[in-house]
Amino acid sequence: MLKPIQDALIGIVYEDDRQLLDTHGALRDVNGQYWVRGMSIALGEGFASDGPFVHIRIDVPPELGRLP
């Protein structure tokens, strides 16, 4: 599922998905309990939608040699 999402963001977020340095994916049960810092309105709407949703976060990579 990650590759189609990366492809869909070409030209919107980045020029080519080869620019991506790290990619992480996770499947979570939306009925679980979560602690979310700084929840965006879009993420809150996803949790409140009563159905599956996709959340995408684009971030600046950590400095070389340091893992998140």
Q: What's the confidence (pLDDT) of residue 34?
A: 80
Q: What's the confidence (pLDDT) of residue 10?
A: 93
Q: What's the confidence (pLDDT) of residue 68?
A: 59
CA–CA distance, 68 with 53 (Å, rounded to integer): 24
Phi, psi (deg, nearest 5) at residue 47: -65, -35
Q: What's the confidence (pLDDT) of residue 67?
A: 63
pLDDT digits (tens, 9 = 90+) for 11-64: 998 898 888 888 888 888 877 788 888 888 988 898 888 888 888 888 877 777
Structural domain boundaries of the chain? 28-58
Cα 46-27-54 angle, rounded to 5 deg: 30
